[in-house]
Structure 1
Protein backbone atom coordinates (compact mmCIF):
# COMPACT_ATOMS: atom_id res chain seq x y z
CA UNK A 1 0.00 0.00 0.00
CA UNK A 2 2.81 2.37 0.92
CA UNK A 3 4.61 1.46 -2.28
CA UNK A 4 1.49 2.33 -4.29
CA UNK A 5 1.22 5.74 -2.59
CA UNK A 6 4.88 6.49 -3.31
CA UNK A 7 4.41 5.50 -6.94
CA UNK A 8 1.34 7.71 -7.29
CA UNK A 9 3.16 10.66 -5.70
CA UNK A 10 6.08 10.13 -8.03
CA UNK A 11 3.76 10.03 -11.03
CA UNK A 12 2.13 13.29 -9.91
CA UNK A 13 5.56 14.90 -9.54
CA UNK A 14 6.55 13.76 -13.02
CA UNK A 15 3.25 15.02 -14.46
CA UNK A 16 3.67 18.39 -12.70
CA UNK A 17 7.19 18.70 -14.11
CA UNK A 18 5.96 17.87 -17.59
CA UNK A 19 3.21 20.47 -17.29
CA UNK A 20 5.76 23.09 -16.23
CA UNK A 21 7.98 22.24 -19.18
CA UNK A 22 5.02 22.49 -21.57
CA UNK A 23 4.00 25.88 -20.12
CA UNK A 24 7.60 27.09 -20.31
CA UNK A 25 7.84 25.90 -23.92
CA UNK A 26 4.60 27.66 -24.85
CA UNK A 27 5.80 30.82 -23.11
CA UNK A 28 9.14 30.85 -24.91
CA UNK A 29 7.81 29.69 -28.29
CA UNK A 30 7.26 33.26 -29.66
CA UNK A 31 10.81 34.21 -28.64
CA UNK A 32 12.22 31.05 -30.21
CA UNK A 33 10.36 31.71 -33.46
CA UNK A 34 11.44 35.37 -33.51
CA UNK A 35 15.11 34.55 -32.93
CA UNK A 36 14.92 31.71 -35.43
CA UNK A 37 13.54 33.98 -38.16
CA UNK A 38 16.11 36.68 -37.36
CA UNK A 39 18.89 34.09 -37.39
CA UNK A 40 17.88 32.73 -40.80
CA UNK A 41 17.50 36.26 -42.21
CA UNK A 42 20.90 37.46 -40.93
CA UNK A 43 22.83 34.26 -41.69
CA UNK A 44 23.77 35.36 -45.26
CA UNK A 45 25.05 38.69 -43.90
CA UNK A 46 27.08 36.96 -41.17
CA UNK A 47 28.57 34.56 -43.73
CA UNK A 48 29.40 37.48 -46.02
CA UNK A 49 31.35 39.30 -43.31
CA UNK A 50 33.03 36.06 -42.27
CA UNK A 51 34.15 35.48 -45.86
CA UNK A 52 35.42 39.07 -45.99
CA UNK A 53 37.49 38.53 -42.84
CA UNK A 54 38.95 35.22 -44.00
CA UNK A 55 39.68 36.54 -47.49
CA UNK A 56 41.60 39.52 -46.09
CA UNK A 57 44.13 37.20 -44.42
CA UNK A 58 44.44 34.59 -47.19
CA UNK A 59 46.49 34.62 -50.35
CA UNK A 60 43.99 32.32 -51.99
CA UNK A 61 40.48 30.98 -51.29
CA UNK A 62 40.04 27.31 -52.14
CA UNK A 63 36.60 26.55 -53.58
CA UNK A 64 35.82 30.20 -53.01
CA UNK A 65 35.47 30.01 -49.22
CA UNK A 66 38.34 27.98 -47.71
CA UNK A 67 41.38 30.21 -46.92
CA UNK A 68 44.78 28.99 -48.05
CA UNK A 69 48.20 30.35 -46.95
CA UNK A 70 47.25 32.78 -44.17
CA UNK A 71 49.42 35.92 -44.20
CA UNK A 72 49.38 39.69 -43.69
CA UNK A 73 50.31 40.46 -47.29
CA UNK A 74 46.85 41.88 -48.07
CA UNK A 75 47.26 44.36 -45.20
CA UNK A 76 50.53 45.76 -46.51
CA UNK A 77 48.66 48.92 -47.61
CA UNK A 78 48.91 50.05 -43.97
CA UNK A 79 52.67 50.66 -44.27
CA UNK A 80 53.22 51.07 -48.04
CA UNK A 81 51.37 52.39 -51.04
CA UNK A 82 49.43 49.89 -53.12
CA UNK A 83 50.86 49.04 -56.54
CA UNK A 84 48.62 47.22 -58.96
CA UNK A 85 48.98 46.69 -62.72
CA UNK A 86 51.71 49.33 -62.91
CA UNK A 87 49.64 51.91 -61.04
CA UNK A 88 50.65 53.32 -57.66
CA UNK A 89 47.70 54.36 -55.52
CA UNK A 90 47.81 57.13 -52.91
CA UNK A 91 48.40 56.36 -49.24
CA UNK A 92 45.48 54.76 -47.42
CA UNK A 93 46.12 57.12 -44.51
CA UNK A 94 45.60 60.13 -46.77
CA UNK A 95 42.29 58.64 -47.88
CA UNK A 96 41.32 57.93 -44.25
CA UNK A 97 42.18 61.50 -43.22
CA UNK A 98 40.16 62.96 -46.09
CA UNK A 99 37.19 60.74 -45.19
CA UNK A 100 37.42 61.82 -41.56
CA UNK A 101 37.73 65.48 -42.58
CA UNK A 102 34.73 65.21 -44.89
CA UNK A 103 32.53 63.35 -42.37
CA UNK A 104 33.52 65.53 -39.42
CA UNK A 105 32.98 68.82 -41.28
CA UNK A 106 29.64 67.57 -42.60
CA UNK A 107 28.53 66.57 -39.10
CA UNK A 108 29.47 69.92 -37.55
CA UNK A 109 27.76 72.01 -40.23
CA UNK A 110 24.68 69.81 -40.37
CA UNK A 111 24.17 69.76 -36.59
CA UNK A 112 24.74 73.50 -36.12
CA UNK A 113 22.46 74.56 -38.97
CA UNK A 114 19.93 71.80 -38.27
CA UNK A 115 19.58 72.70 -34.59
CA UNK A 116 19.01 76.39 -35.38
CA UNK A 117 16.59 75.61 -38.22
CA UNK A 118 14.72 73.04 -36.12
CA UNK A 119 14.26 75.53 -33.29
CA UNK A 120 12.97 78.17 -35.69
CA UNK A 121 10.48 75.74 -37.21
CA UNK A 122 9.31 74.61 -33.79
CA UNK A 123 9.10 77.90 -31.92
CA UNK A 124 8.94 80.86 -34.31
CA UNK A 125 5.86 81.85 -36.27
CA UNK A 126 7.11 83.44 -39.50
CA UNK A 127 5.52 83.86 -42.95
CA UNK A 128 5.74 80.72 -45.06
CA UNK A 129 6.54 78.47 -42.10
CA UNK A 130 3.87 75.86 -42.82
CA UNK A 131 4.70 75.74 -46.53
CA UNK A 132 8.38 75.37 -45.75
CA UNK A 133 7.66 72.47 -43.40
CA UNK A 134 5.55 70.73 -46.02
CA UNK A 135 8.36 71.07 -48.56
CA UNK A 136 11.06 69.82 -46.18
CA UNK A 137 10.62 66.09 -46.70
CA UNK A 138 10.12 66.58 -50.43
CA UNK A 139 13.45 68.41 -50.67
CA UNK A 140 15.18 65.59 -48.83
CA UNK A 141 13.57 62.95 -51.05
CA UNK A 142 14.78 64.66 -54.23
CA UNK A 143 17.51 62.40 -55.71
CA UNK A 144 20.96 63.95 -55.64
CA UNK A 145 21.91 62.25 -58.92
CA UNK A 146 19.40 64.51 -60.72
CA UNK A 147 21.31 67.57 -59.47
CA UNK A 148 24.80 66.55 -60.56
CA UNK A 149 24.99 68.79 -63.62
CA UNK A 150 23.61 71.83 -61.80
CA UNK A 151 25.93 71.24 -58.84
CA UNK A 152 28.90 70.91 -61.22
CA UNK A 153 28.24 74.35 -62.73
CA UNK A 154 27.82 75.92 -59.28
CA UNK A 155 31.00 74.39 -57.85
CA UNK A 156 32.96 75.27 -60.97
CA UNK A 157 31.71 78.88 -60.78
CA UNK A 158 32.69 79.12 -57.10
CA UNK A 159 36.09 77.54 -57.69
CA UNK A 160 35.23 74.60 -55.43
CA UNK A 161 35.34 71.83 -58.02
CA UNK A 162 37.77 69.06 -57.01
CA UNK A 163 37.60 70.34 -53.42
CA UNK A 164 36.43 68.44 -50.36
CA UNK A 165 34.91 71.63 -48.96
CA UNK A 166 32.75 72.06 -52.05
CA UNK A 167 31.32 68.54 -51.65
CA UNK A 168 30.82 69.19 -47.92
CA UNK A 169 28.63 72.21 -48.75
CA UNK A 170 26.62 70.23 -51.30
CA UNK A 171 26.10 67.26 -48.98
CA UNK A 172 25.15 69.56 -46.10
CA UNK A 173 22.55 71.33 -48.23
CA UNK A 174 21.01 68.00 -49.22
CA UNK A 175 20.93 66.70 -45.64
CA UNK A 176 19.69 69.81 -43.81
CA UNK A 177 15.94 69.40 -44.57
CA UNK A 178 15.69 66.01 -42.87
CA UNK A 179 17.98 67.03 -40.00
CA UNK A 180 15.91 70.15 -39.30
CA UNK A 181 12.71 68.10 -39.39
CA UNK A 182 14.06 65.54 -36.90
CA UNK A 183 15.42 68.19 -34.53
CA UNK A 184 12.12 70.08 -34.72
CA UNK A 185 10.39 67.01 -33.31
CA UNK A 186 12.67 67.03 -30.28
CA UNK A 187 12.11 70.76 -29.72
CA UNK A 188 8.36 70.13 -29.90
CA UNK A 189 8.70 67.73 -26.97
CA UNK A 190 10.13 70.50 -24.76
CA UNK A 191 7.32 72.31 -22.96
CA UNK A 192 6.91 76.05 -23.42
CA UNK A 193 6.80 76.44 -19.62
CA UNK A 194 10.49 75.59 -19.43
CA UNK A 195 11.42 78.52 -21.67
CA UNK A 196 8.95 80.91 -20.04
CA UNK A 197 10.41 80.12 -16.62
CA UNK A 198 13.90 80.95 -17.86
CA UNK A 199 12.83 84.24 -19.43
CA UNK A 200 10.88 85.24 -16.31
CA UNK A 201 14.09 84.71 -14.33
CA UNK A 202 15.77 87.30 -16.58
CA UNK A 203 17.46 85.13 -19.20
CA UNK A 204 17.52 86.24 -22.82
CA UNK A 205 15.92 84.11 -25.53
CA UNK A 206 19.35 82.99 -26.72
CA UNK A 207 20.51 82.06 -23.21
CA UNK A 208 17.34 80.06 -22.60
CA UNK A 209 17.87 78.25 -25.91
CA UNK A 210 21.54 77.54 -25.27
CA UNK A 211 21.54 76.84 -21.52
CA UNK A 212 18.14 75.23 -20.92
CA UNK A 213 16.58 73.87 -24.12
CA UNK A 214 19.67 72.46 -25.87
CA UNK A 215 20.66 70.19 -22.92
CA UNK A 216 17.13 68.73 -22.95
CA UNK A 217 17.46 67.55 -26.55
CA UNK A 218 20.99 66.13 -26.30
CA UNK A 219 19.82 62.60 -27.23
CA UNK A 220 18.36 63.98 -30.46
CA UNK A 221 21.51 65.94 -31.25
CA UNK A 222 23.62 62.84 -30.55
CA UNK A 223 21.49 60.71 -32.88
CA UNK A 224 21.60 63.29 -35.67
CA UNK A 225 25.37 63.65 -35.25
CA UNK A 226 25.91 59.91 -35.54
CA UNK A 227 23.69 59.56 -38.60
CA UNK A 228 25.34 62.59 -40.23
CA UNK A 229 28.80 61.15 -39.68
CA UNK A 230 27.77 57.77 -41.07
CA UNK A 231 26.16 59.44 -44.07
CA UNK A 232 29.36 61.35 -44.80
CA UNK A 233 31.58 58.31 -44.21
CA UNK A 234 29.61 56.22 -46.71
CA UNK A 235 29.14 58.97 -49.32
CA UNK A 236 30.37 57.97 -52.77
CA UNK A 237 28.38 59.53 -55.62
CA UNK A 238 29.16 63.19 -54.92
CA UNK A 239 32.81 62.50 -54.08
CA UNK A 240 33.26 60.36 -57.19
CA UNK A 241 31.63 63.01 -59.39
CA UNK A 242 33.36 66.14 -58.08
CA UNK A 243 36.73 64.91 -56.76
CA UNK A 244 39.38 64.08 -59.37
CA UNK A 245 42.82 64.50 -57.77
CA UNK A 246 44.50 61.82 -55.67
CA UNK A 247 45.25 64.45 -53.02
CA UNK A 248 41.52 64.58 -52.16
CA UNK A 249 40.76 60.87 -52.43
CA UNK A 250 38.56 59.33 -49.73
CA UNK A 251 38.16 55.71 -48.68
CA UNK A 252 34.98 55.30 -50.73
CA UNK A 253 36.65 56.49 -53.93
CA UNK A 254 39.82 54.57 -52.99
CA UNK A 255 37.82 51.34 -53.08
CA UNK A 256 36.45 52.33 -56.48
CA UNK A 257 39.99 52.72 -57.79
CA UNK A 258 40.80 49.17 -56.68
CA UNK A 259 37.93 47.73 -58.74
CA UNK A 260 38.17 50.10 -61.71
CA UNK A 261 39.76 47.38 -63.85
CA UNK A 262 37.75 44.14 -63.56
CA UNK A 263 40.67 42.12 -64.94
CA UNK A 264 43.11 43.29 -62.25
CA UNK A 265 41.04 43.02 -59.07
CA UNK A 266 42.93 41.65 -56.07
CA UNK A 267 40.07 40.34 -53.92
CA UNK A 268 42.28 39.74 -50.89
CA UNK A 269 43.45 43.36 -50.95
CA UNK A 270 39.92 44.57 -51.63
CA UNK A 271 38.63 42.61 -48.62
CA UNK A 272 41.32 44.04 -46.34
CA UNK A 273 40.68 47.63 -47.43
CA UNK A 274 36.93 47.08 -47.01
CA UNK A 275 37.44 45.89 -43.43
CA UNK A 276 39.69 48.89 -42.77
CA UNK A 277 36.91 51.09 -44.13
CA UNK A 278 34.42 49.50 -41.70
CA UNK A 279 36.50 49.81 -38.53
CA UNK A 280 35.62 53.47 -37.67
CA UNK A 281 31.92 52.73 -38.20
CA UNK A 282 32.05 49.71 -35.87
CA UNK A 283 33.92 51.71 -33.22
CA UNK A 284 31.41 54.55 -33.49
CA UNK A 285 28.50 52.13 -33.13
CA UNK A 286 30.02 50.45 -30.05
CA UNK A 287 30.69 53.81 -28.39
CA UNK A 288 27.33 55.39 -29.23
CA UNK A 289 24.87 52.47 -29.02
CA UNK A 290 23.74 53.46 -25.51
CA UNK A 291 22.88 56.97 -26.72
CA UNK A 292 21.00 55.57 -29.70
CA UNK A 293 18.99 53.21 -27.51
CA UNK A 294 17.85 56.16 -25.37
CA UNK A 295 16.48 58.07 -28.35
CA UNK A 296 12.73 58.14 -28.88
CA UNK A 297 11.19 59.53 -32.03
CA UNK A 298 10.55 63.27 -31.91
CA UNK A 299 6.95 64.35 -31.53
CA UNK A 300 6.08 66.94 -34.11
CA UNK A 301 3.17 68.18 -32.00
CA UNK A 302 3.06 71.69 -33.35
CA UNK A 303 2.49 72.26 -37.06
Structure 2
Protein backbone atom coordinates (compact mmCIF):
# COMPACT_ATOMS: atom_id res chain seq x y z
CA UNK A 1 0.00 0.00 0.00
CA UNK A 2 2.78 2.37 0.95
CA UNK A 3 4.59 1.56 -2.30
CA UNK A 4 1.51 2.41 -4.39
CA UNK A 5 1.02 5.69 -2.55
CA UNK A 6 4.63 6.60 -3.17
CA UNK A 7 4.31 5.74 -6.87
CA UNK A 8 1.15 7.82 -7.19
CA UNK A 9 2.81 10.80 -5.51
CA UNK A 10 5.83 10.41 -7.78
CA UNK A 11 3.57 10.26 -10.86
CA UNK A 12 1.54 13.39 -10.02
CA UNK A 13 4.18 15.91 -11.24
CA UNK A 14 4.48 14.04 -14.55
CA UNK A 15 0.70 13.99 -15.01
CA UNK A 16 0.49 17.73 -14.33
CA UNK A 17 3.38 18.35 -16.72
CA UNK A 18 1.66 16.25 -19.39
CA UNK A 19 -1.60 18.19 -19.02
CA UNK A 20 0.21 21.53 -19.25
CA UNK A 21 2.29 20.56 -22.30
CA UNK A 22 -0.54 18.80 -24.16
CA UNK A 23 -1.81 21.97 -25.95
CA UNK A 24 1.77 22.76 -27.05
CA UNK A 25 2.28 19.23 -28.38
CA UNK A 26 -1.06 19.37 -30.21
CA UNK A 27 -0.01 22.67 -31.78
CA UNK A 28 3.27 21.22 -33.03
CA UNK A 29 1.50 18.14 -34.40
CA UNK A 30 -0.98 20.39 -36.23
CA UNK A 31 1.86 22.39 -37.78
CA UNK A 32 3.55 19.19 -38.95
CA UNK A 33 0.39 17.66 -40.45
CA UNK A 34 -0.86 20.89 -42.02
CA UNK A 35 2.43 21.48 -43.84
CA UNK A 36 2.06 18.17 -45.72
CA UNK A 37 -1.71 17.93 -46.32
CA UNK A 38 -4.21 20.18 -48.07
CA UNK A 39 -6.52 22.03 -45.70
CA UNK A 40 -10.11 21.99 -46.91
CA UNK A 41 -12.21 22.67 -43.80
CA UNK A 42 -10.99 25.49 -41.59
CA UNK A 43 -7.89 24.40 -39.71
CA UNK A 44 -8.51 20.66 -40.12
CA UNK A 45 -6.02 19.08 -42.57
CA UNK A 46 -7.78 16.85 -45.10
CA UNK A 47 -7.07 15.44 -48.52
CA UNK A 48 -3.96 13.91 -50.01
CA UNK A 49 -0.32 14.21 -49.01
CA UNK A 50 1.48 17.06 -50.78
CA UNK A 51 4.79 18.89 -50.91
CA UNK A 52 3.18 21.92 -52.54
CA UNK A 53 3.53 24.02 -49.41
CA UNK A 54 7.28 23.38 -49.38
CA UNK A 55 7.77 24.76 -52.89
CA UNK A 56 8.98 28.01 -51.28
CA UNK A 57 12.35 26.28 -50.67
CA UNK A 58 13.09 26.29 -54.41
CA UNK A 59 10.69 28.91 -55.75
CA UNK A 60 9.83 32.24 -54.06
CA UNK A 61 6.24 32.75 -52.98
CA UNK A 62 4.46 35.31 -55.18
CA UNK A 63 5.77 38.88 -54.76
CA UNK A 64 8.11 37.86 -51.96
CA UNK A 65 11.90 37.41 -51.85
CA UNK A 66 13.59 34.03 -51.74
CA UNK A 67 13.37 32.28 -48.38
CA UNK A 68 17.14 31.81 -48.47
CA UNK A 69 17.74 35.57 -48.50
CA UNK A 70 15.41 35.82 -45.52
CA UNK A 71 17.20 32.93 -43.80
CA UNK A 72 20.57 34.61 -44.36
CA UNK A 73 19.25 37.80 -42.73
CA UNK A 74 18.01 35.79 -39.76
CA UNK A 75 21.29 33.91 -39.48
CA UNK A 76 23.28 37.17 -39.53
CA UNK A 77 21.07 38.54 -36.76
CA UNK A 78 21.32 35.38 -34.63
CA UNK A 79 25.09 34.97 -35.05
CA UNK A 80 25.67 38.69 -34.54
CA UNK A 81 23.78 38.53 -31.26
CA UNK A 82 25.64 35.41 -30.13
CA UNK A 83 29.08 36.90 -30.85
CA UNK A 84 28.66 40.48 -29.66
CA UNK A 85 26.48 39.77 -26.61
CA UNK A 86 28.96 37.20 -25.32
CA UNK A 87 32.05 39.30 -26.11
CA UNK A 88 30.77 42.52 -24.52
CA UNK A 89 29.08 40.75 -21.59
CA UNK A 90 32.23 38.75 -20.81
CA UNK A 91 34.34 41.90 -20.64
CA UNK A 92 31.80 43.92 -18.67
CA UNK A 93 30.97 41.00 -16.38
CA UNK A 94 34.65 40.53 -15.53
CA UNK A 95 35.11 44.21 -14.72
CA UNK A 96 32.01 44.28 -12.52
CA UNK A 97 32.98 41.06 -10.75
CA UNK A 98 36.67 41.73 -10.12
CA UNK A 99 37.27 45.47 -10.15
CA UNK A 100 36.17 48.04 -7.59
CA UNK A 101 35.42 51.47 -9.02
CA UNK A 102 33.15 54.42 -8.17
CA UNK A 103 29.56 53.91 -9.30
CA UNK A 104 29.90 50.14 -9.66
CA UNK A 105 26.80 49.27 -7.61
CA UNK A 106 24.81 52.05 -9.25
CA UNK A 107 25.80 50.72 -12.68
CA UNK A 108 24.71 47.20 -11.71
CA UNK A 109 21.37 48.50 -10.49
CA UNK A 110 20.94 50.51 -13.68
CA UNK A 111 21.56 47.49 -15.91
CA UNK A 112 18.93 45.56 -13.97
CA UNK A 113 16.44 48.41 -14.41
CA UNK A 114 17.21 48.59 -18.14
CA UNK A 115 16.52 44.88 -18.49
CA UNK A 116 13.14 45.38 -16.81
CA UNK A 117 12.09 47.99 -19.41
CA UNK A 118 9.78 46.50 -22.08
CA UNK A 119 11.44 47.00 -25.46
CA UNK A 120 8.19 48.37 -26.89
CA UNK A 121 8.56 51.50 -24.72
CA UNK A 122 11.88 52.30 -26.43
CA UNK A 123 10.79 51.90 -30.05
CA UNK A 124 10.28 55.59 -30.85
CA UNK A 125 13.61 56.62 -29.33
CA UNK A 126 15.40 53.77 -31.11
CA UNK A 127 13.81 54.80 -34.41
CA UNK A 128 15.22 58.34 -34.16
CA UNK A 129 18.66 57.02 -33.21
CA UNK A 130 18.80 54.54 -36.09
CA UNK A 131 17.61 57.15 -38.56
CA UNK A 132 20.21 59.64 -37.31
CA UNK A 133 23.08 57.17 -37.77
CA UNK A 134 21.64 55.93 -41.09
CA UNK A 135 21.10 52.36 -39.91
CA UNK A 136 17.32 52.30 -40.24
CA UNK A 137 16.11 49.50 -42.53
CA UNK A 138 19.40 47.62 -42.28
CA UNK A 139 20.29 44.29 -40.71
CA UNK A 140 23.23 46.01 -39.02
CA UNK A 141 20.83 48.36 -37.24
CA UNK A 142 18.62 45.48 -36.12
CA UNK A 143 21.66 43.59 -34.77
CA UNK A 144 22.79 46.71 -32.91
CA UNK A 145 19.39 47.16 -31.25
CA UNK A 146 18.95 43.49 -30.37
CA UNK A 147 22.43 43.28 -28.86
CA UNK A 148 21.81 46.43 -26.81
CA UNK A 149 18.55 45.06 -25.43
CA UNK A 150 20.18 41.73 -24.58
CA UNK A 151 23.28 43.16 -22.89
CA UNK A 152 21.82 43.91 -19.42
CA UNK A 153 20.86 40.25 -18.99
CA UNK A 154 24.16 39.07 -20.50
CA UNK A 155 26.25 41.29 -18.23
CA UNK A 156 24.48 40.04 -15.11
CA UNK A 157 24.84 36.41 -16.16
CA UNK A 158 28.54 36.75 -16.96
CA UNK A 159 29.16 38.58 -13.69
CA UNK A 160 27.51 35.68 -11.88
CA UNK A 161 29.78 33.15 -13.57
CA UNK A 162 32.91 35.21 -12.84
CA UNK A 163 31.84 35.53 -9.19
CA UNK A 164 31.95 31.74 -8.95
CA UNK A 165 35.56 31.49 -10.17
CA UNK A 166 38.12 31.37 -7.36
CA UNK A 167 40.43 34.35 -6.93
CA UNK A 168 43.42 32.05 -6.31
CA UNK A 169 44.14 31.24 -9.97
CA UNK A 170 43.79 34.87 -10.97
CA UNK A 171 46.08 36.08 -8.18
CA UNK A 172 48.71 33.49 -9.13
CA UNK A 173 48.61 34.62 -12.76
CA UNK A 174 48.89 38.30 -11.82
CA UNK A 175 51.80 37.59 -9.47
CA UNK A 176 53.56 35.72 -12.30
CA UNK A 177 53.36 38.87 -14.41
CA UNK A 178 50.26 38.26 -16.54
CA UNK A 179 48.31 41.34 -17.54
CA UNK A 180 44.63 41.68 -16.68
CA UNK A 181 43.70 41.05 -20.32
CA UNK A 182 45.82 37.92 -20.62
CA UNK A 183 44.52 36.62 -17.28
CA UNK A 184 40.95 37.21 -18.45
CA UNK A 185 41.58 35.47 -21.78
CA UNK A 186 43.74 32.51 -20.72
CA UNK A 187 42.68 31.83 -17.12
CA UNK A 188 39.14 33.01 -16.50
CA UNK A 189 37.35 32.46 -19.81
CA UNK A 190 38.23 28.73 -19.96
CA UNK A 191 36.72 28.37 -16.47
CA UNK A 192 33.38 29.82 -17.52
CA UNK A 193 33.01 27.98 -20.83
CA UNK A 194 29.63 26.50 -19.81
CA UNK A 195 28.37 30.02 -19.13
CA UNK A 196 29.71 31.32 -22.44
CA UNK A 197 28.07 28.42 -24.27
CA UNK A 198 24.76 28.98 -22.47
CA UNK A 199 24.67 32.71 -23.21
CA UNK A 200 25.71 32.11 -26.84
CA UNK A 201 22.92 29.61 -27.37
CA UNK A 202 20.34 31.76 -25.60
CA UNK A 203 21.35 34.81 -27.66
CA UNK A 204 21.28 32.83 -30.91
CA UNK A 205 17.80 31.46 -30.24
CA UNK A 206 16.55 34.92 -29.24
CA UNK A 207 17.93 36.43 -32.45
CA UNK A 208 16.59 33.63 -34.63
CA UNK A 209 13.07 33.98 -33.20
CA UNK A 210 12.91 37.77 -32.74
CA UNK A 211 10.03 39.59 -34.39
CA UNK A 212 9.26 43.01 -32.89
CA UNK A 213 12.59 44.75 -33.57
CA UNK A 214 13.10 43.41 -37.14
CA UNK A 215 9.45 44.11 -37.95
CA UNK A 216 9.64 47.68 -36.65
CA UNK A 217 13.01 48.73 -38.03
CA UNK A 218 13.04 47.11 -41.47
CA UNK A 219 10.70 48.07 -44.30
CA UNK A 220 12.33 46.42 -47.33
CA UNK A 221 11.18 42.86 -48.01
CA UNK A 222 14.73 41.67 -48.64
CA UNK A 223 15.80 42.88 -45.17
CA UNK A 224 13.14 40.84 -43.33
CA UNK A 225 13.78 37.93 -40.98
CA UNK A 226 11.89 34.63 -40.99
CA UNK A 227 9.50 35.78 -38.25
CA UNK A 228 8.65 38.94 -40.24
CA UNK A 229 8.35 36.90 -43.44
CA UNK A 230 5.97 34.52 -41.68
CA UNK A 231 3.86 37.42 -40.45
CA UNK A 232 3.56 38.72 -44.03
CA UNK A 233 1.93 35.43 -45.04
CA UNK A 234 -0.80 36.03 -42.48
CA UNK A 235 -1.30 39.78 -42.61
CA UNK A 236 -1.19 40.69 -46.31
CA UNK A 237 -4.60 39.39 -47.32
CA UNK A 238 -7.93 38.15 -45.99
CA UNK A 239 -7.24 34.71 -47.45
CA UNK A 240 -4.63 32.78 -45.50
CA UNK A 241 -3.12 29.53 -46.76
CA UNK A 242 -2.62 27.83 -43.42
CA UNK A 243 -0.65 24.99 -44.95
CA UNK A 244 1.87 27.50 -46.30
CA UNK A 245 2.04 29.26 -42.94
CA UNK A 246 2.59 25.90 -41.21
CA UNK A 247 5.39 24.94 -43.61
CA UNK A 248 7.28 28.23 -43.14
CA UNK A 249 6.68 28.05 -39.38
CA UNK A 250 8.10 24.53 -39.30
CA UNK A 251 11.08 25.69 -41.38
CA UNK A 252 11.79 28.33 -38.73
CA UNK A 253 11.14 25.97 -35.83
CA UNK A 254 13.30 23.00 -36.82
CA UNK A 255 16.75 24.65 -36.36
CA UNK A 256 15.76 26.13 -33.00
CA UNK A 257 14.32 22.83 -31.81
CA UNK A 258 17.43 20.88 -32.81
CA UNK A 259 19.63 23.56 -31.29
CA UNK A 260 17.69 23.39 -28.03
CA UNK A 261 17.63 19.58 -27.86
CA UNK A 262 21.41 19.29 -28.19
CA UNK A 263 22.24 22.26 -25.99
CA UNK A 264 19.69 22.21 -23.16
CA UNK A 265 22.37 21.08 -20.70
CA UNK A 266 24.29 24.30 -21.38
CA UNK A 267 21.13 26.40 -21.16
CA UNK A 268 20.52 25.08 -17.65
CA UNK A 269 23.77 26.80 -16.63
CA UNK A 270 21.97 30.14 -17.00
CA UNK A 271 19.78 29.18 -14.05
CA UNK A 272 22.65 27.84 -11.93
CA UNK A 273 26.07 29.42 -12.29
CA UNK A 274 24.82 32.69 -13.74
CA UNK A 275 22.48 33.49 -10.87
CA UNK A 276 24.76 33.11 -7.86
CA UNK A 277 26.62 36.40 -8.04
CA UNK A 278 25.77 39.40 -5.93
CA UNK A 279 26.59 43.08 -6.14
TM-score class, shorter: over 0.9
Specify the alignment match of 1:248 in structure 2.
223
Pick from 127, 136, 140: which aligns with 1:165? 140
Query: CA shift at 1:63, angstroms?
Result: 6.9
Pick from 123, 126, 136: which aligns with 1:151? 126
Specify the alignment match of 1:70 in structure 2.
49
CA contact (8 A) 2:38 2:45 kept: no
In structure 1, list runs of 5 or more residues that go unmatched: 1-21
- 2:235 alignment partner, SS class: coil
Q: Which structure would you say has the larger RCO, counting Cα contacts within 8 Å and 6 or more residues apart?
A: 2
Query: CA shift at 1:201, angstroms?
Result: 2.6
CA contact (8 A) 2:205 2:256 kept: yes
Counterpart check, 1:52 vs 2:31? yes
CA distance in 2, matches of 1:139, 1:63: 43
Alpha carbon RMSD of aligned pairs, Å? 1.6
Specify the alignment match of 1:82 in structure 2.
61
Query: CA shift at 1:290, angstroms?
Result: 3.1
Pick from 297, 300, 303: which aligns with 2:273? 297
Query: CA shift at 1:34, angstroms?
Result: 1.1
Specify the alignment match of 2:10 in structure 1.
31
**TM-score, normalised to structure 2's length?**
0.94
Query: CA shift at 1:65, angstroms?
Result: 3.1
**Aligned in 2, Cα 1:66/1:172: closer, same or farther, shift over 3 Å?**
closer
**Aligned in 2, Cα 1:294/1:74: closer, same or farther, shift over 3 Å?**
same
**TM-score, normalised to structure 1's length?**
0.87
**Aligned in 2, Cα 1:188/1:69: closer, same or farther, shift over 3 Å?**
same
Task: Select the structure of larger CA radius of gyration.
Answer: 1
CA distance in 2, matches of 1:198, 1:207: 9
Counterpart check, 1:217 vs 2:192? yes
Query: CA shift at 1:278, angstroms?
Result: 0.4
CA distance in 1, matches of 2:235, 2:110: 39
Query: CA shift at 1:283, angstroms?
Result: 1.7
In structure 2, list runs of 5 or more residues that go unmatched: none
Query: CA shift at 1:299, angstroms?
Result: 5.0
Counterpart check, 1:197 vs 2:172? yes
CA contact (8 A) 1:81 1:92 kept: yes
Segment of structure 1 superposing worse, 37-46 or 110-119: 37-46
CA contact (8 A) 2:136 2:218 kept: yes
